[in-house]
């Protein structure tokens, strides 16, 4: 998966739970959950969507690492490139 494809998945997943958002306009290093008032339930829905598209499940313990768009991108890239990609 290219970086662009991954970004498109993240953006689409965010739009799915917060359709009013414009992911392209968000500061990639800002906490987007805070910026868009994404509560825990909604965030989980977003991660489910990302999981369906990428096969990566994000465990609760890593939520702090995926609260910015750049953090999410970096985290997913690392997980996808590891040998046991997609598995916990």
Partner 1 sequence: MLDYSEVCTTFSWEAVRASLQGLPNNSGLNIAHEAIERHANGPLRDRVAIRWLGKKDTSLELTYGELQAGSNRFANLLKQLGVNKGERVFWLAGRIPILYSVFFGILKTGAVFCPLFSAFGPEPIAQRLERGNAKILVTTERQYRKKIEPLLSRLPELESILLVDREEKLNEWVLSLPQLMADSSSEFTIPPTDPEDKAILHFTSGTTGMPKGAVHVHNAVLTHWITGRYVLDLHPEDVFWCTADPGWVTGTSYGIITPLLHGVTSIVDEAEFEIQRWYQILEQHKVTVWYTAPTAIRMLMRASADVREKYDLSALRLIHSVGEPLNPEAIFWGQRVLGLPIHDNWWQTETGGIMVANYAALEIRPGSMGKPLPGIEAAIANRLPDGTLQLEGDEVEGELVLRRGWPSMFRAYLHEQERYNTCFVGDWYLTGDLARRDTDGYFWFIGRADDIIKTAGHMVGPFEVESSLMEHAAVAEAGVIGKPEPTIGELVKAFVVLKPGFSASDELKQELIGFGRIRLGSAVAPKEIEFTDNLPKTRSGKIMRRLLKARELGLPIGDTSTLEGSAS
The site for partner 1 (CB under 8 A) is made up of 15-16, 18-21, 31, 33-34, 36-42, 44-45, 59-61, 63-64
Owner of token pair 């953006």: 11
| Sign, Cα dihedral of 68, 70, 76, 78 | negative
- Shorter beta-carbon distance to partner 1: residue 39 or 52: 39
Minimum CB distance to partner 1, residue 34 (Å): 7
Taking the complex as a whole, how short is the minimal distance between the CB of residue 88 and partner 1, in angstroms? Answer: 9
Q: Is 13 exposed, middle or buried (0-12, 13-18, 19+ CB in 10 A)?
A: buried
> SS3 of 68, please?
strand
Nearer residue to partner 1 within complex by CB, 62 or 80: 62
**In the complex, what is the shortest distance from the CB of residue 21 to partner 1, in angstroms, rounded to a whole number?**
8
């Amino acid at each position: 998966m290219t970086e662009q494809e991954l970004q498109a998945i993240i953006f689409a997943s965010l739009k799915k739970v917060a359709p009013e958002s414009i992911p392209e306009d968000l500061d990639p290093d800002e906490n987007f959950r805070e910026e868009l008032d994404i509560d825990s339930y909604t965030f989980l829905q977003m991660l489910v969507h990302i999981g369906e598209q990428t096969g990566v499940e994000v465990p609760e313990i890593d939520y702090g690492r995926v609260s910015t768009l750049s953090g999410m991108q970096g985290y997913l890239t690392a997980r996808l490139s590891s040998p046991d990609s997609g598995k916990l």
